[in-house]
Amino acid sequence: MGEKVLLRGNEVIAEAAIRAGCQCYFAYPITPQAELLEHMAVNMPRLGRTFVQAESELGAINMVYGAASVGVRTMTSSSSPGISLKQEGISYLAGSSLPAVIVNVVRGGPGLGDIAPSQCDYFQATKGGGHGDYHMIVLGPSTVPEAGTLTMLAFDLADKYRTPVMILADGMLGQMMEPVDLPDPIDVASLPKKAWATTGAKGRDPNIILSFDLDPEVLKRMNLELQRRYREIEKNEVRYEEVETGDADIVIAAYGTTARIAKTVIRMARAEGIKLGLFRPITLWPFPYAPLKKLSERVSTVLTVEMSAGQMWEDVRLAVAERAETPFYGEMGGVVPTPRGILREVKKYAH
């Protein structure tokens, strides 16, 4: 079985990646994810695996592109401004159907912003931050242990669908320490072989990795293949959690650290007789539209709470439409909403 340890979120993501068989890790330092990079610097070489501190985020994401081409499990991590730099590479990974894991420990923005927790990169992550018609799977952990399990899952999903997968964490998750049951390492040799990988054209025709064709009809077919895969992901991989929604009149829609705070708010609200529940998307893309739609049919209000000006809120409103009220409460700039502050908002809609 695994082992129980007390670790920071950043370290748990790193350790989970190692146990998921990540062979090559490339990154550039940035707060608040530096511990992830440092954990990899110590442990990857010890295991005979690759750690490179890249010259830039562009360097790092393109090293990931190279390692992914060869078929090994590979990851990079950064925080908001660094993730902006990686967008070119993420678009190429998506266009070339290369599996890779990208971790964004989100901080306050825009611009240089600050180093405090934020959820202001939701649009960039879920709507395609780079150029072109693409998506990547986006997983939003809410606790340190879940950051570990979702990181393990991210590698499996990346390989299964040949797509980049993002772990969308935040500065709180990255820095917080929690007890974690670390899973046993997977057996890398047991992973399915990647027949498409560019491992050398020995005894077969050459494999070519590319996102390019000058013939619009051919490029259209390449795009349609991506879209086909996205529909398959939407069908198979939607993940979410509902907490005390059975009798709820009001539901908070929140993900990540904010969802965790909302769980405290549920206890406080219910002590005051307010029937409050939580809808927590775990896959931010694909977003759980259908289950939220269903839930919205039997509640009066879906209150979206985010550490942003209202980004996931757009997806919530798409899902809920006119079936319930859809107010919003958000904090920005690295300010973390308090349980009391959220409860005050909830009370506005409790009748």
Task: Tell me which residues touch other proteins (CB under 8 A).
Answer: 23-24, 26, 50, 52, 54-56, 58-60, 62-72, 74, 88-89, 92, 96, 198-203, 206-212
Q: Say which residues have a Cβ less than 8 Å from residue 114's Cβ, sequence separation at least 6.
A: 107, 108, 333, 334
Smallest distance from the beta carbon of 26 to other proteins, in angstroms? 7
Smallest distance from the beta carbon of 256 to other proteins, in angstroms? 30
Give 9 or 89: the residue with its C-beta nearer to other proteins: 89
Smallest distance from the beta carbon of 21 to other proteins, in angstroms? 13
Judge whether 82 and 107 are in contact, CB under 8 Å: no
Smallest distance from the beta carbon of 20 to other proteins, in angstroms? 16
Q: Is the dihedral of CA 31, 33, 39, 44 positive or negative?
A: negative
Give 8 or 73: the residue with its C-beta nearer to other proteins: 73
Smallest distance from the beta carbon of 113 to other proteins, in angstroms? 23
Judge whether 100 and 68 are in contact, CB under 8 Å: yes
Give 204 or 235: the residue with its C-beta nearer to other proteins: 204
Between CA 222 and CA 225 the distance in angstroms is 5
Give 216 or 273: the residue with its C-beta nearer to other proteins: 216
Give 92 or 313: the residue with its C-beta nearer to other proteins: 92
Q: Which of 344, 288, 342 is nearest to 319 (CA)?
A: 288
Give 60 or 180: the residue with its C-beta nearer to other proteins: 60
Between CA 346 and CA 270 the distance in angstroms is 11
Smallest distance from the beta carbon of 61 to other proteins, in angstroms? 8
Residue 330 sits at the vertex; the CA angle it makes with 326 and 336, to the nearest 5 degrees, is 145
Give kind and range of the element (H or E) at residue 76. Answer: strand 74-78
Residue 272 gets which letter from DSSP?
Answer: T
Give 70 or 332: the residue with its C-beta nearer to other proteins: 70
Smallest distance from the beta carbon of 209 to other proteins, in angstroms? 4
Between CA 199 and CA 182 the distance in angstroms is 32
Give 4 or 202: the residue with its C-beta nearer to other proteins: 202
Q: Strand pairing of 301-306 and 164-170?
A: unpaired
Return phi, psi of residue 337, to 5°: -65, 145
Smallest distance from the beta carbon of 17 to other proteins, in angstroms? 15
Tokens 């964004």 sit at which residue?
104
**Environment class of residue 94 by beta-carbon count within 10 Å: exposed (0-12), middle (13-18) or buried (19+)?**
buried
Judge whether 248 and 273 are in contact, CB under 8 Å: no
